[in-house]
Amino acid sequence: MTPAAIGLRVHSGWAALVVVAGSPRSPSVLDRRRIEIADRAIPGSVQPYHAARELGLNKAESFLKRCADSSCSLARAALEKAIDDLSASHQVIGCGLLLGSGRPMTTLEATLGSHPAIHTAEGEFFREALIQATRECGLSSKGVREKELYKVAAARFGLPSGDLEHRMDDLGKTLGPPWTQDQKCAALAGWLAM
């Protein structure tokens, strides 16, 4: 079986998932898809900290726990599906995840009291669901701050950042549109996880 890795970039309630094989010198994208990681049947789950703020501190914690359990379950199912879709020819060996650069959360009360902290918390919320899901799927996960992605990859692969950016752009030509920035970044994060 040929090794492959999954790269993920989080958005509010969903993530870009790109499965890669090979290396940035001879890249191959095996799959790309959008995965839902917020249960839209739970009102407010797409922006759980925004919704929690409206509930008040007493109800916020249980609401966030419910959303976290649901998001992890959805993420695990999506990862299992991607892995299963490739199981005949490839073995997924790891997962690369783009990280934010926000400050760590303090208390729930402090987070809910600050709109910028709510946005940071939501990004971390969905990343944590994906990290937990990768563990449950038996995959290792490696995170890299998005703003440092090309610098880290250039050092790891011995290629200039500009060359990597061109390779990511060119890869999209073989796939056809859309080949978005979040997919390019997820692909590169996947290669870092191999």
Closest C-alpha to 78, from 27, 23, 13: 13
Dist. CA 151–CA 136, nearest whole Å: 30
Dist. CA 97–CA 6, nearest whole Å: 8
| Superfamily of domain covering 2-193 | Ribonuclease H-like superfamily/Ribonuclease H (3.30.420.10)
pLDDT per residue of the chain (194 residues) written in tens, 0 to 9 = 899 999 999 998 999 999 999 877 788 999 999 999 999 999 999 999 999 999 989 899 999 999 999 999 999 999 999 999 999 999 999 999 999 887 766 899 999 999 999 999 999 999 999 999 999 999 999 999 999 999 999 999 999 989 999 989 988 888 888 999 999 999 999 999 98
**What string of DSSP letters covers 97-116?**
EEE--PPPP--HHHHHT-HH
CB 60 within 8 A of CB 114: no
List the chain domain ranges.
Answer: 2-193
